[in-house]
Chains A and B, each alone.
Chain A
């Protein structure tokens, strides 16, 4: 890089950093172009598509708000939205509770605690699809170890088909999701806990506060921003669930476990109706933006209060 040499005197005059600033645009250009082309443009195109009868196989016709009118009266969309919401509430609550318990357990340095942390985080790095195939096998009535174990323990008698009833199918997915992602929740909460100043705890100890009281009066309130972040992440993540339902429940039983993303996929790539798929996408985007804004507002006002 000797080409910079001629400019040296001028650079000295204006300070070494000053002249090079326009170069910054060059450095960020690849990222910005990628995001504009493969993200911002698709968002705009999704909006445009949602006003069209846009078949995957080529024909497209402007239909105005027809897709949205259909959406408003589509009971399967309403059911799916309802199911996704139920799933989100349950999964988020489960993740938060288990995550808090694990984070409280591994936050302090003690011999061997690193091993525990690692064990809880390992499932985070494998894919949801992969984890789903493993679950499918572990739960298979004929060759799975879990039905076999249940039968041996006398908990059940006869065949075990967890995916044939809504509550057990949902329970399986929630357990899978907790197993697969709670390590991340735990890490975030643990980091938040460790950022709380030791002074508070020392003061509480001097005052003779019980552990439980310390937890509710110091740890939880000061952890609010972190809990807020975890909530946003888990709520968004749950609303976007796809892999585990596609592979495990396949929407069943009786179409009772169809998340919204599954519906978007089905409309666009099974029914070949990209316009309607796009309208659902826009609806999902709007819902998530509203949810995120509400959560951001809530955590902010609480912080100031």
Chain B
């Protein structure tokens, strides 16, 4: 490989672009196709959904599957998911902002140790503490409760959140803050009125991360809730799939999958800038 390669014959300008788009454009279609196909199928009638072989397009679009989903009592579970997610987003954002501010801007005793404790949670997966987490939640009467799930998901989300917010606060020039302090603003007022608008993109990242965590989480929800009224969407669908007490209704199951996927996709499409920046922000420091 030491001899320089001779210049190749000139290819037409459009050829590489066409080849690129054929390969990677088709691949991109393949990535979104399952979700698009699912969305289309969800408006088939239940009969058409269960038809062999499957039809390409819904022959008479109807919202029957969505109505059946409501009839099966799943509105309750959608609401559970929404409440748990909202609670987690708020709690994780508030806790992460406060801690990020504290760790970035204040010197206090045990600061290093406390930060290390928070970071250590990134080294140990929550999946390996579910047995004891269950016992502790049970002692606190927080199993079978949405509040319990919010508590757990908040703890899942804050290590990333604190990391992100600490970096966001550290990037704000000290002069900005000092000016506010000299003007007589207390630390909370400084945080709320002066700093928060500046670190808002970081808060968006943390909120999005918390959203996707809480909305999609399965294992903890499966273990910490045992009554259908408390199930979140992924768990109630798993129950539907195992067909407890009846046959599997594909239309309802997959429409449930649409309901759990759509909010994530829509929110991602609107706010992807923050999500992508947050995920890749800490990745490349070297």
Q: Is A10 an interface residue (CB 8 A)?
A: no
- List B contacts of A134 (CB < 8 A): 34-35, 38, 254, 257, 261
Asked if A127 and B260 make an inter-chain contact with CB atoms under 8 angstroms apart, the answer reads yes
Which segment, of A35-43, A69-77, A85-93, A160-168, faces chain B?
Answer: A35-43
A123's nearest neighbour on chain B, judged by CB, is B31
Asked if B250 and A140 make an inter-chain contact with CB atoms under 8 angstroms apart, the answer reads yes
- List B contacts of A115 (CB < 8 A): 28
Q: Is A242 an interface residue (CB 8 A)?
A: yes
Q: Is B237 an interface residue (CB 8 A)?
A: yes
Q: Which of A20-56 contact B (CB under 8 A)?
A: 20-28, 30-32, 34-43, 45-46, 49
For the residues of B in contact with A, the DSSP-based class is helix
- List A contacts of B114 (CB < 8 A): 28, 32
Known contacts A21-B107, A122-B268; A1/B131 CB under 8 A: no
For the residues of A in contact with B, the DSSP-based class is helix
Distance (whole angstroms) from the CB of A61 to the closest CB of chain B: 15
Distance (whole angstroms) from the CB of B31 to the closest CB of chain A: 5
Candidates A3, A229, A265, A289; contact of B223 at CB < 8 Å: A265
Q: Is A171 an interface residue (CB 8 A)?
A: no
Asked if B135 and A32 make an inter-chain contact with CB atoms under 8 angstroms apart, the answer reads no
Known contacts A134-B254, A195-B284; A242/B127 CB under 8 A: yes
Interface residues on A, range: 35 or more
Asked if B31 and A129 make an inter-chain contact with CB atoms under 8 angstroms apart, the answer reads no
- List B contacts of A144 (CB < 8 A): 54
Candidates A20, A38, A179; contact of B106 at CB < 8 Å: A20
- List A contacts of B187 (CB < 8 A): 4, 20, 23, 27
Distance (whole angstroms) from the CB of A88 to the closest CB of chain B: 13
Asked if A30 and B37 make an inter-chain contact with CB atoms under 8 angstroms apart, the answer reads no
Distance (whole angstroms) from the CB of B94 to the closest CB of chain A: 8
Candidates B20, B105, B250; contact of A137 at CB < 8 Å: B250
Q: Is A285 an interface residue (CB 8 A)?
A: yes
**Known interface pairs A27-B106, A134-B254, A264-B130; 17 further A-B residue pairs with C-beta atoms within 8 A, sorted by A's residue number:** A17-B177, A28-B102, A28-B114, A31-B158, A40-B117, A45-B136, A105-B23, A125-B268, A126-B261, A143-B250, A144-B54, A179-B34, A261-B127, A265-B223, A269-B223, A278-B131, A284-B128
List 26 A–B pairs whose Cβ atoms lie within 8 Å, in order of A's numbering: A1-B189, A8-B184, A23-B102, A24-B107, A25-B108, A28-B102, A28-B103, A31-B98, A32-B118, A34-B155, A35-B117, A45-B132, A102-B27, A118-B269, A120-B28, A122-B31, A126-B264, A127-B260, A128-B216, A133-B257, A137-B38, A137-B257, A143-B49, A195-B286, A243-B219, A265-B219
Chain A residues in the interface with B (C-beta under 8 A): 1-5, 8, 11, 16-17, 20-28, 30-32, 34-43, 45-46, 49, 102, 105-106, 112, 115-116, 118-123, 125-130, 133-138, 140, 142-145, 148, 151, 179, 183-184, 187-188, 190-192, 195, 208, 210, 213, 225-226, 229, 236, 240, 242-243, 246-247, 261, 264-265, 268-269, 274, 277-278, 281-282, 284-285, 288-289, 292, 303
